[in-house]
Chains A and B, each alone.
Chain A
Amino acid sequence: MSETVTDADFLLTHRGKAEDLDAWVVGAAFSRDGKSAGFALGDGTLRLASTGDITGDWQRVEAHEGACLSMVADIASGFLTGGDDGRMVRTAHDGTVEELANLGAMKWVDCVASHPDGLRAASVGKKLHVFGKGGPLKVLEHPSSVGGIAFDAKGKRVAAAHYNGASLWFVNSKEDKPRVLPWKGSHQGVWFSPDGTHVVTTMQENALHGWRLADGQDMRMSGYQSKIKSVSFTAKGRWLATAGADCIVLWPFFAGGPMGKPPMELAGGDGVLCTRVACHPQHEVVAAGFDDGLVLMAEIASGKVVPVAAPGRGPVSALAWNATGTQLAFGTETGFGGLVDLSKR
C-alpha cells in the first residue's frame, strides 16, 4: 500500500498505542526485566505499560509530590525516579511505590542513575548520594551543583558533571578522591562510552565536551544551534548520536575520531531541531525526536529514515528503546506519550 509510505503515523497507529498524558513527559524507560515501559511526568506521576500488550491500559501511579525530575530503569525491575519533593522513589511493575530515600525538604533530587549490580545514585545540589544493596553507601561532595550523573557499564565508577568539569569516583574505593576531568564552563549531562574509555558531557554552551580517559585528551564538539539535551552511544560505541541541531549529529568514535573528524548528519533538511536521540541497543540505528513532535528511526550505514510518529504533538522530551530493540517509547513536552512495537509478527 502506497499510503503507508507517506503516512508518518503508520507505525504508531498500526503497531503502537498513544495516550494524552496531560503533563510534560520528563522521562521514558523500559524496566531491565523487560516487563514494563514507564513514563515519568511533570505532575509527579508515572504511567506504566505492560510490554506484553502495549495496547492495554497504562497504569497511573502517584510517585512524587511535585514533579518527577528524572527517571531510569531501576536495578533489576521497575523504575527509579527523583522528584522535586526531595525523594528518590522506586516504582514496581505492579505500581507499588517505595520511598528509597528522602534527601531533604526544599531540596530537589535532580538526577538518578542505577546499575544492575545493585547500585543507585541520586544527586541533590552538590551532593551525589550513592546507594548499594544494603542502603546508603556514600555521599560524594562536588565543588558546585551536579548537572548529570552516570555509572560506567561495569558499575565500577560513577561520574558527575558540574561546573568546570566532571568528577569520576570509584564506587567501592575506601578513600573517596575523584579523578577530576577539567574543562572550563558548566557541564550538565555526563555519559561513559560503552567500553568505558571516554567520558562525554553536554554544556551550558551549545557544545559537547569529551575526554579520552587513557591520556586525558580533550575533545571539543561544537557547532550546534542549541543546547544539547540528549546524547546516545551506539551499541558498540562506534558512534555518538547527539541532539541539538536540525538533524541527528553523529560523531565517529573509531579510526582516531572524533578528534579531527567531521561528524555525520542524518535525517536533516527541514530545519527542525532534534531534541532527543536514542541508539538501538543492537544495530547501528538511531531513533530521534524533534521539536515539532516528529519521531523517526534512521539507519546509520544507509541513511534510510523510517517515521514512527507524525509532527504536531509538541517537542519530543523523552525517548527510549527496550533492551532487545523491539519497542520504542517516546513522550513530548505537551504530554503526548507513545509506545510502538517493531518486533516481527
Chain B
Amino acid sequence: MSDTAPTEDTTIPVTVLTGYLGAGKTTLLNRILSEDHGKKYAVVINEFGELGVDNDLVIDADEEVFEMNNGCICCTVRGDLVRILGSLMKRRQKLDGIIVETTGLADPAPVAQTFYMDEDVKRATRLDAIVTLVDAKNLAARLADSKEAASQIAFADIVVLNKMDLVTEEEAAEVERRIAAINPYAEIRRATKSAVPIETVMGRDAFKLERILEREPTFLTEDNHSHNEDVMSLSFEVDQPLDEAKFQNWIGELLQTKGQDLLRTKGVLAYAGEDRRFAFQAVHMIADGDFIGPWPEGSPRKSKIVFIGRDLNRPRLRRGFESCVATEASTATGAGAE
C-alpha cells in the first residue's frame, strides 16, 4: 500500500445510544432530532418508551442478537441492524446519520460487532460513537444488580451522566469515580434532562483508528483501578519498540482465548523499523488495526495498550505485552531508519 491517500468517506455515521430504561435515552434522542441542524437522521428504536420519537424516519425493530459462524459467542451481531442498515442504503435521500437506540438491558457488544462482521454494513456505514446514558442517582444500584450496566459503560465513548439535578456534588463525584474505574477513557458529560451539546455526542468518529487513545485519562493512576468493580481497565506502556510479528501473535492468541472477557482493547504501537504509529482496537475477539501516520514531532515513541474487561490478569497481560518488545536483532534492522 502506498501512503494513505485521503479518499472521500461516503459511509454514513451511526451513533448508538445505550443506557438503562429511564436513564434519558429518548429525551436525548428527541433533543438531537429537534435541534435545528437541517440534518436528516434515521432512527432505529427497539422499545417504546413513554415518550414518542419525533422524526420522519423511525424504524421500530425487534432487537435480535444472532450468533454467526456456528455459535461462537463473540461473533454475535444484531440481525435487525444488518437488515435495516442494508435497506436504508437503498433510499435515494442521503442520510446524514443513523441513530440506534438500544433497549435498556442491551449488551452493546453485538451492536459494535455488527459494524465489523457484516460486509454490507461495513461498506455503507461506520460506527461513530457509543453514547451511554447513566442515571446519576441510580447507577450504583444498577451496577449492583446487573451485568449490563457495567458493560454499557465499558463500551461507551461518551457517558452522559444524567439527572444531575437529583444528586449532590459528592454523589456525582462518586458516580464519576466509579465510571472512570470501569472505563477511564470514556468522556463524561454531566447533564440534566439529557441536555448536552449535540456535537458532544454526534460526529465524534470515536471508532476511527486515528482517535484511539486520543483521550488520556488524567485522573487515574495505574494503581487505583480496583474498586471491586466487575469490569475494570488496565493499561500498559513500553518504551522500546515492539516486534510486529510478536505483537500480532500475542494479541491474536489473547483475543482468541480471552476475547469473551475483553470487552474493548485499544492500543497505539511503535513497531521496530517503522516510522508510523500503528493503531489497534478490538471488540471482544474482533480486531481492527492500521498504520495511522507518523509519530508527532518530539513525542516519545511509546507503545500503549488498554484493556477493558472482566477477570483481567494484570501480571500476565503485562508480561505478555512486554514480551512483544523487539530483540536486539530486530531493532538493529530498524536502526538505519532513524
Report Cα–Cα, A69/B59, bound state, in Å: 14
Partner of A42, one of B61, B62, B68, B92: B92
Q: Knowing A106-B60, A184-B67, A185-B67 touch, does A147 contact B83 (C-beta < 8 A)?
A: yes
Whether A145 contacts B83 in the complex (CB less than 8 A), given A184-B67, A226-B119, comes out as: yes
User: Would you call A55 an interface residue if the criterion is a C-beta within 8 Å of the partner chain's C-beta atoms?
Assistant: no
| B-side contacts of A84, CB under 8 Å | 59, 87, 91
Asked if A43 meets B70 with Cβ closer than 8 Å, knowing A144-B64, A204-B79, A226-B119, the reply is: no
Bound complex: CA of A108 vs CA of B87, how far in Å?
A: 10
Q: Name the segment of A6-14, A19-27, A46-54, A281-289 touching the other chain.
A: A19-27
> Given the complex of chains A and B, what is the CA–CA distance between A184 and B119 in angstroms?
20
- Kindly state whether residue A74 has any CB partner on chain B within 8 Å: no
Q: Is the interface of A mostly helix, strand, loop or mixed?
A: loop
List chain A residues, Cβ under 8 A from B58: 106
**Does A107 belong to the interface (CB within 8 Å)?**
yes
Q: Say whether A67 faces chain B, with CB atoms less than 8 Å apart.
A: yes
Q: Which residues of A contact B237 (CB under 8 A)?
A: none
Given A23-B92, A226-B119, verify A184-B60 contact (CB < 8 Å). no
The answer for the CA separation of A145 and B64 in the assembled complex, in Å, is: 8
Distance of A204 Cα from B91 Cα, bound (Å): 22
Query: Bound complex: CA of A23 vs CA of B68, how far in Å?
Result: 32
Query: Which of A22, A108, A204 lies in contact with B92, CB distance below 8 A?
Result: A22
Among A42, A125, A184, A204, contact of B82 (Cβ-Cβ < 8 Å): A204
A179 CA to B83 CA, complexed, in Å: 25
Closest B residue to A206 by beta carbon equals B119
**Cβ-defined partner of A204 (8 Å) among B59, B61, B62, B118:** B118
- Bound state CA distance, A106 and B46, in angstroms? 11
| A42-B91, A144-B64, A184-B67 known; A163-B79 Cβ under 8 A | yes
Which residues does chain A contribute within 8 Å of B91, judged by CB atoms? 24, 42-43, 66-67, 84
Known contacts A185-B68, A204-B118; A67 and B90 CB within 8 A of each other: yes
Q: How far is it, in angstroms, between the C-alpha of A199 and the C-alpha of B175 when the chains are bound?
A: 55
What distance in Å separates the Cβ of B47 from its nearest Cβ neighbour in chain A?
Answer: 12
A45 nearest CB neighbor, chain B only: B92
Give every chain B residue within 8 A of A110 (Cβ-Cβ): 83, 87
Alpha-carbon separation in the docked complex, A147 to B64 (Å): 12
Given contact pairs A145-B62, A227-B120, A204 touches B77 in the complex (Cβ within 8 A): yes
Q: How far is the CA of A205 from the CA of B91 in the complex (A)?
A: 25
User: Is B57 in the interface zone, CB < 8 Å from A?
Assistant: yes
Please determine whether A185 and B90 come into contact, CB atoms closer than 8 angstroms. no
A41 pairs with B92, CB closer than 8 A: yes
CB distance from A204 to the nearest CB of B (A): 6
Q: Which 9 A-B pairs have the closest CB atoms?
A: A43-B92, A42-B90, A106-B60, A24-B90, A23-B92, A186-B66, A67-B91, A42-B92, A106-B58
Listed by A's residue number, 25 A-B pairs whose Cβ atoms lie within 8 Å are A24-B91, A24-B92, A42-B91, A43-B91, A66-B91, A67-B87, A67-B90, A67-B92, A69-B87, A84-B59, A84-B87, A84-B91, A106-B58, A108-B59, A108-B84, A110-B83, A125-B62, A144-B62, A185-B66, A185-B67, A186-B66, A186-B82, A204-B79, A227-B119, A333-B90
User: Which residues of chain B have a CB within 8 Å of any CB of chain A?
Assistant: 57-62, 64, 66-71, 77, 79-80, 82-84, 87, 89-93, 118-120
Enumerate chain A interface residues (CB-CB to B < 8 A): 22-24, 26, 41-43, 66-67, 69, 84, 106-108, 110, 125-126, 144-145, 147, 163, 184-186, 204-205, 226-227, 333
